[in-house]
Amino acid sequence: MTRFSTQKFSGYFIITATLKLAVIVHPNSRKQRVEKDLFGTLHIYVSAPPLEGKANAAAIESLANYFKVKKSHVVLLSGHTAKQKLFEVIKDGEHNY
């Protein structure tokens, strides 16, 4: 689900897009990567172990790199201890009109 909002500041429109993603995280992988399967589900392979939130932190970092946003714009909503997780990604952009 994607949600857009706009705000105008002195000739600039700031467009914010919010995206909620269901992903599958694979901890203890040899190579870190983000892949899409045939159904469009993102699979995040991280080398971190699933202990003390290390795999979650690595998944957040991987998603931030994938969508080219700051790590603080990627939020884990549910699935803190499961392989299937729900993330929210917030992307901001400025456009001069």
Task: Note the pLDDT tens digit of each residue in 4-34.
Answer: 555 555 556 666 788 899 999 999 999 999 9
CATH class name, domain 18-91 = alpha beta
Three-state SS for 4? strand
Contacts of 51 (CB under 8 A, 6+ apart): none
| pTM more than 0.95 | no
Task: Note the pLDDT tens digit of each residue in 79-90.
Answer: 999 999 999 999
